[in-house]
């Protein structure tokens, strides 16, 4: 009988994908070795091969998982009973939330998809196109006059330009969070510079003062 998977297998595998994504994002897919991935994961190289076949499989699954997450998010928002503009704003907010937690995977998807073999690349890019099409449809519902015009796709891609490339300059732990930037992106998209509202400062966590004991 084949051996069953050990408890925690899926959790360990997810951690391996996350560590590999961090390495690919920092130093590039081609410059990263399986030895480095194993070291970053705190496992031996033979143990690493218990979870993935090779470095290429890591790349495929990082890209596929990230796009699948985005498509799931779109599907969730699409079924919500929202006014068209609110739907676009919510899509922006949800995407920014995902990007905040998956910056490495997003960088890999953006920069390393070119290393995928044709069939795998097509599958990932087709899934990306589904995400773009859903945004384009939501934007057309908010601006019906754009539907099926030459501007519908470019306007959609301009929005993605604001969201997708934020990882190149926005540093985690900075003065503004992704959650604070999401309405800025939405305001710029819908109303231009004059419509941008200043982000609401997030309150600092309260610091408890230790009480003195009575003598």
CATH code of the region 55-195 = 1.10.357.10
Positions in the chain short of pLDDT 50: 1-2, 215
Give me the torsion for CA of 94, 67, 128, 37, rounded to 10°: 130
pLDDT for 207: 62
Instruction: Report pTM.
Output: 0.83
Assigned token pair, 104:
């490495």
Assigned token pair, 159:
């929005």
In whole angstroms, what is the distance from residue 90 CA to residue 179 CA?
A: 11
pLDDT for 2: 42
- Give the pLDDT confidence of 47-79 residue by residue, as tens digits: 999 999 999 999 999 999 999 999 999 999 999
Q: Are 17 and 61 in contact (CB under 8 A)?
A: yes
Assigned token pair, 189:
């998209």
Half-sphere exposure of 74 (CA within 13 A, CB side): 18
Q: Are 197 and 183 in contact (CB under 8 A)?
A: yes
pLDDT for 42: 93
In whole angstroms, what is the distance from residue 37 CA to residue 20 CA?
A: 6
Q: Are 154 and 87 in contact (CB under 8 A)?
A: no
Q: Are 66 and 108 in contact (CB under 8 A)?
A: yes
Q: How many beta carbons lie within 10 A of that of residue 31, not counting itself? A: 10
pLDDT for 8: 80
Domain boundary assignment for the chain: 55-195
Distance of CA 132 to CAs 21, 39, 66, 201, Å? 23, 37, 14, 32
pLDDT for 1: 39
């Amino acid at each position: 009988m084949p051996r069953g998977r050990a408890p925690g297998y899926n959790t360990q595998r997810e951690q391996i994908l996350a560590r590999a994504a961090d390495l690919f994002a920092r130093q590039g897919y081609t410059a990263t070795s399986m030895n480095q991935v194993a070291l970053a994961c705190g496992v031996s190289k033979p143990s690493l091969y218990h979870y993935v076949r090779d470095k290429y499989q890591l790349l495929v699954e990082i890209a596929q998982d990230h796009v699948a997450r985005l498509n799931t998010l779109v599907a969730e928002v699409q079924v919500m009973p929202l006014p068209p503009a609110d739907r676009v704003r919510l899509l922006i907010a949800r995407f920014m939330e995902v990007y905040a937690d998956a910056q490495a995977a997003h960088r890999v998807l953006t920069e390393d998809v070119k290393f995928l073999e044709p069939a795998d690349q097509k599958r990932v890019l087709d899934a990306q196109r589904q995400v773009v099409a859903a945004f384009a449809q939501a934007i057309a519902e908010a601006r019906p006059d754009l539907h099926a015009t030459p501007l519908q796709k470019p306007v959609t891609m301009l929005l993605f330009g604001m969201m997708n490339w934020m990882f190149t300059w926005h540093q985690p732990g900075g003065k503004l969070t992704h959650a604070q930037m999401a309405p800025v992106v939405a305001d710029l998209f819908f109303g231009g510079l004059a419509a941008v509202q200043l982000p609401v400062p997030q309150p600092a966590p309260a610091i408890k003062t230790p009480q003195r004991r009575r003598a």
